[in-house]
Structure 1
Amino acid sequence: MNLQRWADAESGTTAHTAAEEHLPPPASHNAQTPKFVREYADYYKTPRGYHPRSVNSNTGWSRTTPLAFINMPLLQRAGELKAPALIVHGEKAHSRYFSEDAFKSLGSQNKELFLVKDASHVDLYDRQSGKIPFDKFEQFFRINLK
């Protein structure tokens, strides 16, 4: 990745992954395609979530995007957060452990990890699944925003 970053600097352009490499379109899926990849594609590669400027719908990430995650661990300073925190995640999301790790790392004493029953990762992107817990958000904001 560092060599790519150097090449990008010299050329004045940014190399991106191919859209198909980053997130294969639904028509290319088969029995071996992981469920979460199918769910993402069913969102980003269809009218439901497609946007012409979305990295997940089109050109993919830059080839050096992961460097930001390597150089600065995402939860490195989470313990400094003292404000009320609500983390909402799908109970059946492949990425659930991210939220569980974040919750454990938070320094706030007023924190909650709310798992939405039977929800996947993308079920919480829009109202199509009917699983977004708007009532939970309202309750959290009414109590904690003063």
Structure 2
Amino acid sequence: MKQNVKFKNNELFLAGHLYVPAKFDETKKYPAIVVSHPGGGVKEQAAGLYANKLSELGYITLALDASNQGESEGTPRYLEDPYARTEDVRAAVDYLTTLSYVDTNKIGALGLCAGGGYTVAAAQTERRIKAVATVSMVDIGSLFTEGMGRVVSVEDQIKLLEQVSHQRTEEANGGETYYITYVPQEVDDSMKGTVAEGHEYYVTDRGRHENAPNRLVFTSFNKIATYSAFSHIDKFLTQPFLAIAGSEADTLYFSEEAVKKAASQNKELFIIDGATHVALYDIRANVNPAIEKLDEFFTESLK
């Protein structure tokens, strides 16, 4: 029960997959959930898996492609603009409110990896989002500039930004758009954790999709560098909040920090023992514990 939909984020049309429950009745009202994909991903991958499984449990779900990515409009292609991606979440909520069978007082949001950070950021000011959940969440501003575990010095971060500025000059003067990869195209024994897992998911048959070619506009970094998904969660993230992460994920600290800082009085860090960051992306690694917890959370918060 999936249909292709398009909706606007300002001047861009975004592409989405709208999932409805079995025995869907258009005359009834259903709780709805926006599902945001990881950085470098598309709606057909992990986001679509979660959206489909949650629809089977009685929710209307909308998995969308980010601006400039997948089947959504926007140039340059494969730009990762965290401010646009946060607005994508709000635009998806806009769209859900236009559907007669969506209960507009029961809209939730779920984000995976970077999509989790964007979802948390959007929910701080988007009060139509009544419940917030994340899986393997990261704050892309920190991860991409400070590195995993925040080990990159400020001096090295500035050097990167100088390279980005130089590239903008090159492109402004007719140079080609410069792309880098989200994850390594090739891995060696020195690569561990999410870096190696990301390669396996995005580059091999495990999760590869033609609309997610592992490309990132290099100049995205000057937008990402000052972005903070958690900037006001101590004041504004008052909605029920669930963060799901694996006990073996090298990104676990993002979920721990977000739950600790959030203003919500109904918040939980749910750790899946033995799971890594990417293990929560697909059936191969068994996402069922995450789905069961999400259903429990959204049932309590939205139904």
Equivalent residues in 2 for 1:42-57, closer than 5 Å? 42-54=200-212, 57=213
* Aligned partner letter, 2:266: N
Q: Could you tell me which residue of structure 2 aligns to residue 110 of structure 1?
A: 266
Cα distance in 2 for partners of 1:76, 1:7 equals 33
Q: Could you tell me which residue of structure 2 aligns to residue 40 of structure 1?
A: 198
Cα distance in 2 for partners of 1:5, 1:78 equals 33
Equivalent residues in 2 for 1:43-82, closer than 5 Å? 43-54=201-212, 57-58=213-214, 60-79=215-234, 80-82=236-238
Residues 139 and 94 from structure 1, CA distance in 2 versus in 1: closer, same or farther, beyond 3 angstroms?
same
Cα distance in 2 for partners of 1:85, 1:29 equals 35
Tell me, yes or no, if the aligned pair for 2:193 and 2:249 is still in contact at 8 Å.
no
User: What is the alpha-carbon root mean square deviation over aligned residues?
Assistant: 2.0
Residues 109 and 7 from structure 1, CA distance in 2 versus in 1: closer, same or farther, beyond 3 angstroms?
farther
Q: Could you tell me which residue of structure 1 aligns to residue 291 of structure 2?
A: 134
Q: Which moved more, 1:28-37 or 1:128-137?
A: 28-37
Cα distance in 2 for partners of 1:69, 1:78 equals 18
Cα distance in 2 for partners of 1:84, 1:8 equals 44
Tell me, yes or no, if the aligned pair for 1:116 and 1:131 is still in contact at 8 Å.
no
Cα distance in 2 for partners of 1:45, 1:89 equals 23
More strand by share: 2
Residues 6 and 107 from structure 1, CA distance in 2 versus in 1: closer, same or farther, beyond 3 angstroms?
farther
Q: Deviations over 1:42-77 (max 9, x none)?
A: 1111122111221xx43x211122222322222112
1:103 is displaced (CA, Å) by 1.5
* Aligned partner letter, 2:295: E
* Aligned partner letter, 1:136: K
User: After the TM superposition, which parts of structure 1 deviate over 4 Å for at least 4 consecutive aligned residues?
Assistant: none
Q: Which moved more, 1:133-142 or 1:34-43?
A: 34-43
Tell me, yes or no, if the aligned pair for 2:251 and 2:277 is still in contact at 8 Å.
yes
Give the total of aligned pairs. Answer: 138
Residues 50 and 84 from structure 1, CA distance in 2 versus in 1: closer, same or farther, beyond 3 angstroms?
same
Cα distance in 2 for partners of 1:119, 1:113 equals 14
**What residue ranges of structure 2 are gaps of 5+ in the alignment?**
1-163
Structure 1 position 29 matched with structure 2 position 187: yes
* Aligned partner letter, 2:209: H
Q: Could you tell me which residue of structure 2 aligns to residue 15 of structure 1?
A: 178
* Aligned partner letter, 2:191: T
Report % sequence identity: 33
1:6 is displaced (CA, Å) by 3.6
* Aligned partner letter, 2:231: Q
Tell me, yes or no, if the aligned pair for 1:119 and 1:131 is still in contact at 8 Å.
no
1:12 is displaced (CA, Å) by 7.9
1:39 is displaced (CA, Å) by 1.1
Cα distance in 2 for partners of 1:107, 1:43 equals 34
Cα distance in 2 for partners of 1:123, 1:111 equals 23
Cα distance in 1 for partners of 2:233, 2:219 equals 24
